[in-house]
Structure 1
Amino acid sequence: MDAPFPSPPTHYSFYRPLQRLQVPPIPISQRSRISSLDHCGTASMASFKSSISMNNSCDLHGRTSGEVHVIVGPMFAGKTTALLRRIKSKGSTGSNIAIIKSSKDTRYAIDSVVTHDGMKFPCLALPDLLSFRQKFGDDAYEKLDVIGIDEAQFFEDLYDFCCKAADHDGKTVIVAGLDGDYLRRSFGSVLDIIPLADSVTKLTARCEICGKRAFFTLRKTKETQTELIGGADVYMPVCRQHYANGQVVMEAARNVLESYKVKSDSFIEATSVVQ
């Protein structure tokens, strides 16, 4: 037989047997005070639970909470198509819907959101979002369930509008816009609403040069301002490799054009002197 397990050494404190603590009795003079404190604590907890119940009741019988969904990607990635698909899906289930776009976007139509392949949907074109309720009408706004926002990068008040519409007014807001400009820098306030979003969808296009997945937008013209409205005549979707190569090519082209301009100006000045 195996040897019996040795007894633990007595100097280890965790081997010592537990000792019952002797708690002195509470004096009679203090018992009423403790009872009073316990009653106050119970009353406070009951009041707290009552307030929670009241808040839950307001959520159940009052306005429902809203949502924010964000669709981003480069140009020609199908952002507007995805927005319209979701909006129409909500409308088919009985939701009251409306779409807003920036009044800066006049490429296809003023009063419609139009995809690059011709799909369109009526909208309200506005310079800012916070004026939407006034333009749309208070009664009509109250009945709205879903609000779509196209070309969201052009709205400076995008964050404030999404907070108010979703958090306070109970609306579902579906936002579509560019996450970056042609320099791959944050464009407008689209990235600012990511922390507010219930979901974020990043779409890709096809590189116009090689056909691979395109994450970036390359500007084909020499203009350098951030906001330049245009379509395929101004922009094209490209992969990482051809974005980097394209920037080099575009910079070289700009330098060549600039040199031609300098030479042309010099020739005109020389001709003027001769005459």
Structure 2
Amino acid sequence: MHAITRSGWVEVISGSMFSGKTEELLRRLRRAEIADQSVAVYKPAVDDRYGETTIGTHTGRQWDATVIDSEGDGPLAILESAADAEVVAVDEANFFSTALVEVCDALADRGVRVVVSGTDTTFRGEPFEPLPQIMATAEYVDKFRAICTVCGEPATRNQRLIDGEPAHVDDPTILVGAEESYEARCRDCHVVRTDDERPTRRSETRVDD
């Protein structure tokens, strides 16, 4: 906690997929353990890519985590579960309901260091709640970038692929996957399919008044 106010704070690690968000989260957790701080780690039930009770990176690193119901008031369970923790980490925050915003604020108010990781945009390139709300009130925000698989520029977008083709704008927002379903893309190379005839780059999409 902060030495003068004795309050906690919220840190957000955001960015596109494949940008190293979870790797950075695990780095911070390792440093907390070295400092002999008590740590509690949480993940949404919907994400079982690296095991039901672990968070993991694309490079194979893992950490044990408590699974939390991500819908409705489910995230509120963290408040009781992490009662004795000095550091609370939440991975894939974008899969949780907006109740996670309340959880982060309440934990920080009682002196806990809260570290939240997640992608801040949907495959459409739109804000992916609740992460933008948490970023707005967090003390520290780091936005990571990947490498665009098309042009090699810094990538900030999640390109969803269905059978190798860009996903349609009307597809569900949440689809858990990795390299088989997603690529990192820059703004210009990011594609959102709006009809059955041709893919549309986001920079070409128009919004009529």
- Tell me the TM-score normalized by structure 2: 0.82
Aligned residue identity for 2:128: F
Q: CA deviation at 1:64?
A: 2.8
Contact 2:78 2:103 (C-alpha < 8 Å) held by counterparts = no
Q: CA deviation at 1:251?
A: 5.0
Q: CA deviation at 1:208?
A: 0.9
Residue 158 of structure 2 corresponds to residue 211 of structure 1? no
Aligned residue identity for 1:130: L
Q: Which has the larger radius of gyration?
A: 1
Q: CA deviation at 1:133?
A: 3.9
What is the 5 A alignment of 1:230-269?
230-243=177-190, 246-247=191-192, 250-251=193-194, 254-255=196-197
Aligned residue identity for 1:145: E
Q: Helix, strand or coil for the counterpart of 1:209?
A: coil
Aligned residue identity for 2:172: Q
Identity %: 30
Aligned position for 2:140? 199
RMSD: 1.9
Q: Which structure 1 segments of 5+ residues have no match?
A: 1-58, 257-275
Q: CA deviation at 1:108?
A: 1.8
Q: Helix, strand or coil for the counterpart of 1:217?
A: strand
Residue 131 of structure 2 corresponds to residue 131 of structure 1? no
Q: Helix, strand or coil for the counterpart of 2:114?
A: strand
Quick check: which one's helix share is greater? 1
Alpha-carbon separation, structure 1, partners of 2:181 and 2:25: 23
- Tell me the TM-score normalized by structure 1: 0.63
Query: How many positions carry a matched residue from both structures?
Result: 185
What is the 5 A alignment of 1:1-275?
64-127=6-69, 128-134=74-80, 136=81, 141-156=82-97, 157-167=99-109, 169-221=110-162, 222=167, 224-243=171-190, 246-247=191-192, 250-251=193-194, 254-255=196-197
Structure scoring higher RCO (CA < 8 A, sep ≥ 6) equals 2
Once the two structures are superposed, residues 40-73 of structure 1 have per-residue CA deviations (whole angstroms, 9 ceiling, x without a partner) of xxxxxxxxxxxxxxxxxxx97xx93111000110
Alpha-carbon separation, structure 1, partners of 2:160 and 2:79: 35
Report runs of 4+ in structure 1 exceeding 6 Å deviation: none
Q: Which structure 2 segments of 5+ residues have no match?
A: 199-209
Q: CA deviation at 1:240?
A: 1.6
Q: Helix, strand or coil for the counterpart of 2:31?
A: helix
Alpha-carbon separation, structure 1, partners of 2:90 and 2:18: 17
Alpha-carbon separation, structure 2, partners of 1:211 and 1:191: 26
Alpha-carbon separation, structure 2, partners of 1:240 and 1:189: 22
Q: CA deviation at 1:91?
A: 1.2
Q: Helix, strand or coil for the counterpart of 1:131?
A: helix
Alpha-carbon separation, structure 2, partners of 1:142 and 1:110: 23
Q: Helix, strand or coil for the counterpart of 1:113?
A: strand
Contact 2:155 2:186 (C-alpha < 8 Å) held by counterparts = yes
Alpha-carbon separation, structure 2, partners of 1:144 and 1:124: 13
